[in-house]
Chain A
Amino acid sequence: MSQLGTKKAEVDLPVRTKYEESRRQKTGVFFKKKVGWLFVIISVIAITIFNFYPMVQAFLLSFQSGMGANLEYVGLDNWRRLFGDPTFIAALTNTTIYLLIQVPLMIILALFFSVLLNDPKLKFKSFFRIAIFLPCVTSLVAYSVVFKYLFGIDGIVNQFLLNFGFISETVNFLADPFWAKVVIILAITWRWTGYNMIFYLAALQNVDKSIYEAARIDGASSFQQFFQITVPMLKPIILFTSITSTIGTLQIFDEIVNITNGGPGNATISISQYIYNLSFEYSPDFGYASTVSYVIVILVVILSIIQFRVAGEKK
């Protein structure tokens, strides 16, 4: 087939005039360039309509205020309102707490698991790996509801603690501002640790085993090996997972709504939930909600710049 094609071209060529040939090539090149754009154009248009255009709209909205569709420009009023809004401050504080405790906790756990599971002599390795990864198959809503029941006042966690004498009477975890946050952090950690572990396990396979052997001969303990070999070797992937986890946690919504619905009071409310409430639960104030949403944008941009900086350093 391909032979036939080239032969045909050879036969055709001398018949054409020079002008015709060069024109054919030119339009050919031009067409090739154009056809490349045809492959990407639908996606470019769709992402522009569904991502970039709304971003601009949200920015404009953040300077408007009013109920429902009756919006008018109010300048920086919304931005000023942020700093005096106790619910916003609660949401920002809670989100920061989730971030600062949950992300490091999860990443350290995931690192430990991956190092332990990377030991070639370990038995039942694939069982442990699959077990720890298993939570990733659940939907965020489904596991949130399960956790809500597990930690409910008549939930199995309370009964377990009672039976083993850790507590003398049932604790209403989800009605307590402190314990409700703990449950949410535990829930997210349960769901995502195995996910991050898989990234580390993959990265560890590329680490030369002889480095560890040399360290062992030099008398380095397991802990020294972990902190002085494993962590530096996995630095890029640790950074990658920390940033994706951070961006994910900054936007946390499903878990909060379905485990505590932000309560008790506003003790567990997150920024995303507050945006949702402002737009669709309370009397809708799309303008102010957009202002709050831009706080997440700003945080994400700052964190992403840090990510690119660090990734750039590596090169």
Chain B
Amino acid sequence: MNRLKRIFIYTFLSVAAIVSIFPFLWMLTSITNKSVDVTQGRLLPGTHLIENFKTLFATVDIVPALINSSIIAIITTFLTLLLASLAGYGFEIHRSKGKDIVFTILLLSMMIPFAAIMIPLYRMFGSISETAPLIGIDSLGAVILPTATTAFFIFFFRQNTKMFPKDLVEAGRIDGLSEIGVFFRIYMPTMKTTYAAAAIIAFMNSWNNYLWPLVILQSPEKRTIPLLISNLGSSYSPDYGVIMSAIVIATLPTALVFFLMQKHFVAGMMGSVKG
């Protein structure tokens, strides 16, 4: 009986693991095969890898898309970390009744479905397009602005600040640091792991964001990676080897982050329920 149970457990988990990994294996073998072989269900590595990448870079504007996505993701991550940690710190260290109320109101914004605010946001950015083209429709700035401050990250930093030793703030003040100096010189270096975890999640969110860039970006040269892949995926005569190459390139940054920084990755995920 016990042995039977063991066999069942291992079979169940193995099937789950295979199902989870299979699409990745398929992606990785597909980029080495010709499109015809992919459609014939070939699951062995082929010799077409270099050709696929050559075709990809020659026929698809993947480099500009990578650059756009990188610019957006890096600036968004930087702004998110700076603004959310400032706010999380302010709400926790300079706690007051008024701020607690404001914090609760900010949390409510986490319930707002993006689809509900996307139209007013589109119109808002449309109305400033002429006066401020850098943050108007079809600009990278317009992609960044609404996504750079979210209540989730403020909440995340506040939760983590609860574990920050408050004596350090007092010590900093006595040392003659200004309030903002305490934040930059003492809080930031102490909270490195919190910043790392938040950076991973913020970067991934931005790198993978689809709906808002789809709404606000119009010209092909402004396209981000998810828009490009979506476009490739809807073509009528897809070259599977080439499309899979694009998908692998798009997945690489987040996959690398996961494998190199598993602990921070999970910490970032769990941040929302801690405390």
The interface of chain A, by Cβ under 8 A from chain B, is: 1-2, 5-6, 32-33, 35-40, 42-44, 46-47, 50-55, 57-58, 61, 109, 112-113, 116-117, 119, 122, 127-128, 131-132, 134-150, 154, 156, 159-160, 190, 194-195, 198-199, 202, 222, 237, 240, 247, 250-251, 253-254, 257-258, 261, 271-272, 275-276, 279-280, 286, 289-290, 293-294, 296-297, 300-301, 304
Contact = CB atoms under 8 A, between A and B. Distances in A.
Contacts of A136: 258
Interface of B: 5, 9, 12-13, 16-17, 19-21, 23-24, 26-27, 39-41, 43, 83-84, 86-87, 89-91, 93-96, 99, 102, 106, 109, 111-124, 145-146, 148-151, 154, 171, 174-176, 179-180, 183, 207-208, 210-211, 214-215, 225-226, 229-230, 232-234, 238, 240, 243-244, 247, 250-251, 254-255, 257-258, 266, 269-270, 273
B86 A42 contact: yes
B273 A144 contact: no
A109 B16 CA distance: 10
A33 B229 CA distance: 49
Nearest to B109: A51
Given A140-B210, A286-B123, A47 B115 contact: no
A226 B39 CA distance: 43
A156 B119 CA distance: 39
A81 B193 CA distance: 51
A230 to B, nearest CB: 15
Contacts of B87: 39-40, 42-44
Nearest to A144: B233
Nearest to A159: B41
Given A47-B149, A150-B23, 18 more contacts: A38-B179, A39-B87, A39-B91, A39-B183, A40-B91, A46-B83, A116-B13, A134-B258, A139-B210, A141-B233, A146-B26, A198-B266, A247-B111, A257-B230, A275-B115, A279-B119, A290-B119, A296-B116
Contacts, number: 253
A294 B244 CA distance: 37
Nearest to B258: A137
B40 to A, nearest CB: 8
B208 A139 contact: yes
A113 B19 CA distance: 13
A116 B9 contact: yes
Contact of B122 (A39, A44, A279): A279
Given A35-B179, A135-B20, A141-B210, A58 B119 contact: yes
A293 B21 contact: no
A198 B123 contact: no
B144 to A, nearest CB: 11
Given A36-B90, A40-B87, A293-B116, A261 B211 contact: no
B84 A253 contact: no
List the 8 closest pairs (A to B, CB-CB), nearest first: A36-B94, A39-B90, A145-B233, A57-B120, A54-B120, A139-B208, A54-B117, A131-B17
Contacts of A6: 174
Contact of B94 (A35, A46, A50, A138): A35
